[in-house]
């Protein structure tokens, strides 16, 4: 574990960018995690012995990935402008989205996921409906009607998209932009633009009203920092859990290890994860007080 002087921490020893080390004391690097495990938890007098370093590194990475999916309160945010193509290319480290919003006029407008299909492939066909192939025998593609109409803004939607109306016999009737809305389907009663995620294509498709606006994507990463092990780190609250996870994973994959030893390692891992989650939840008296202030509020 390395410690930084104030000069190293605040000014990065005169190098740029100077904010490189800000907040770094909260974290332990992957390099230190693996080294500490090899020194303190692995050996002839330990449960884990004669284990290769690359296996320990693999299990440490898997533990950090699982923590990013489940326990960490670290959500990345990326703002990009959406052009007339009405799509947003996912970040390279994207795993899952938390919230997608449109930033307009200084306000973040949360968008709803569209349950309708907003994008599709389309094969080139002749007048008889036969699919046309190119010289290499591959299907030729063209822009689908769904994509064309969505980009042009002519695609109809079950979402209100800024208007309020009524659903009668599964048909929508819109009278005016503002007013009472009786019997609306709450799932589609959304006046903000909508989006659909195309995981295979790696893009997010939006309805036409998003064009030329900024979209903020809040998402979860796997914490692998684009494959650069030197940048991978974990919050210190989870350091002891990582050692327990690696120990359990190694013992669980070995032959001739007694079942009770594996189960004991599993229980220890589970208990440490629960403790770490409680610590990182940061439940303080001030936060509890803010949540409890509305408990006596009168509801009409």
Predicted local confidence at residue 160, as pLDDT = 60
Determine the Cα–Cα distance for residues 82 and 102; give it in Å rounded to an integer: 10
Burial of 78 (0-12, 13-18, 19+ CB in 10 A): middle
Instruction: Quote the pLDDT of residue 147.
Output: 79
Burial 164-202 (b: 16+ CB within 10 A, else e): bbebeeeebeeeeeeeeeeebeeebebebbbbbbeeeee
The helix, strand and coil proportions of the chain, stated in percent and rounded to the nearest 5, come to: 35, 20, 40
Residue 25: is its pLDDT beyond 90?
yes
Tell me the mean pLDDT in the region 258-281: 94
2/22 Cα distance (integer angstroms): 14
Which of 17-26, 124-133, 256-265 comes out lowest in average pLDDT? 124-133
Judge contact between 38 and 56, C-beta under 8 A: yes
pTM reported for the whole predicted model: 0.76
Largest CA distance in the chain: 79
Give pLDDT tens digits for 163-218.
Answer: 544 556 656 555 544 445 556 666 777 778 889 999 888 999 998 888 899 999 99
Query: Over the chain, what is the mean pLDDT?
Result: 86
Q: Can you tell me the distance from the alpha carbon of 158 to that of 145, in angstroms, rounded to the nearest whole number? A: 18
Give the helix/strand (H/E) hosting 145.
Answer: helix 145-152
Per domain, the residue ranges of the chain are 28-72+235-280, 76-158+187-220
pLDDT tens for 81-94 read 999 889 899 999 99
- In this prediction, residue 53 carries a pLDDT of 94
- Where helices occur in 160-258 by DSSP H, the ranges are 239-253
Both ends of the chain: CA-CA distance in Å? Answer: 57
């Amino acid at each position: 574990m390395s410690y930084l002087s104030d000069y190293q921490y605040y000014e990065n020893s005169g190098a740029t960018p100077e904010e490189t080390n800000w907040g770094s004391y909260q974290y332990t690097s992957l390099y230190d995690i693996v080294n500490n495990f090899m020194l303190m938890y692995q050996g002839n007098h330990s449960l884990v012995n004669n284990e290769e370093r690359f296996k320990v590194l693999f299990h440490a990475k898997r533990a950090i990935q699982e923590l990013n999916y489940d326990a960490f309160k670290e959500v990345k945010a990326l703002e990009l402008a959406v052009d007339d193509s009405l799509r947003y290319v996912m970040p390279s480290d994207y795993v899952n989205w938390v919230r997608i919003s449109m930033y307009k006029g200084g306000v973040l407008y949360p968008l709803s996921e569209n349950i309708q299909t907003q994008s599709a492939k389309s094969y080139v066909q002749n007048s008889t409906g036969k699919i046309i192939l190119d010289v290499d025998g591959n299907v030729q593609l063209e822009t689908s009607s769904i994509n064309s109409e969505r980009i042009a803004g002519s695609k109809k939607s079950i979402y209100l998209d800024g208007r309020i109306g009524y659903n009668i016999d599964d048909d929508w009737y819109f009278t005016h932009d503002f007013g009472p809305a009786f019997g609306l389907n709450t799932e589609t009663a959304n006046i903000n633009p909508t989006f659909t995620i195309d995981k295979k294509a790696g893009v997010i498709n939006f309805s036409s009203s998003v064009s030329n606006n900024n979209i903020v994507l809040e998402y979860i990463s796997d914490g692998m920092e684009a494959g650069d092990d030197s940048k991978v780190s974990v919050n210190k609250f989870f350091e002891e859990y990582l050692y327990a996870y690696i120990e359990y994973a190694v013992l669980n994959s070995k032959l001739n290890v007694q079942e009770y030893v594996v189960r004991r390692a599993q229980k220890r891992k589970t208990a440490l994860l629960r403790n770490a989650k409680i610590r990182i939840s940061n439940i303080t008296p001030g936060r509890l007080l803010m949540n409890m202030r509305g408990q006596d509020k009168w509801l009409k």
